[in-house]
Amino acid sequence: MKATVLIRPKQGILDPQGEAVGEALRTLGFGVSGARVGRLVDVDLDTEDPAEAHAALDRMSHELLANPLIESFTIELEDGA
Amino acid sequence: MKATVLIRPKQGILDPQGEAVGEALRTLGFGVSGARVGRLVDVDLDTEDPAEAHAALDRMSHELLANPLIESFTIELEDGA
């Protein structure tokens, strides 16, 4: 089963990369009031069980993929669950 | 209008960061056959028109956010369009 974890800086956490991107977009002439930069991880899981996959991804995110102190994460299973 | 651009390494493009993440997840005992790492940019646009927003995000992605030679991108408007 394929899944994606979306990882974003938490609200209130400084995001200098996002600020630079927002500034660069405005310099290019785009009407943008802000930008935040995060990352995503596409994972190919051995299990096909959505509940099991979600639980594993939650643990992966806490243990390795994200830093829960400063980042929030969202899990998306490919079937849309 | 808020929107997110999801940026991923194209198929066939080497992704050493993804390989390292996959390896680390297996070492931690997770049943994972592969992982790919990309990034995401949340953008706060001045326009509220979905078509205009989509066109602007497409140009932003080509000009600044992604490298179309080696990366693919997906645009998601917050209303789900």
The interface pTM score, or ipTM, of the predicted complex is 0.92
pTM of the model: 0.93
Q: Do B35 and A41 touch (CB under 8 A)?
A: yes
Model confidence pLDDT, tens digit, residues B21-31: 999 999 999 99
Calpha distance B7→A4 (Å, rounded) = 12
Task: Note whether A49 and A3 are within 8 A (CB).
Answer: no
Model confidence pLDDT, tens digit, residues A30-71: 999 999 999 999 999 999 999 999 999 999 999 999 999 999
**A38 DSSP β-pair partners:** B40
Q: Do B44 and A25 touch (CB under 8 A)?
A: no
Q: Do A40 and B37 touch (CB under 8 A)?
A: yes
CA of A46: how far to CAs of A23, A52, B15, B33, in Å? 42, 10, 20, 7
Model confidence pLDDT, tens digit, residues B1-52: 999 999 999 999 999 999 999 999 999 999 999 999 999 999 999 999 999 9
Q: Do B31 and A21 touch (CB under 8 A)?
A: no
DSSP A47-78: ---HHHHHHHHHHHIIIII--TTTEEEEEEET
Calpha distance B79→B45 (Å, rounded) = 13
Q: Do B31 and A24 touch (CB under 8 A)?
A: no
- Closest partner residue to A41 among B33, B37, B46, by Cβ? B37
The yes-or-no verdict on residue B70 having pLDDT over 90 is yes
Calpha distance B67→A14 (Å, rounded) = 25
Chain B nearest CA to A37, separation (Å):
5
Which chain A residues are closer than 8 Å to B74 by Cβ?
Answer: none
What is the three-class DSSP state of A37? strand
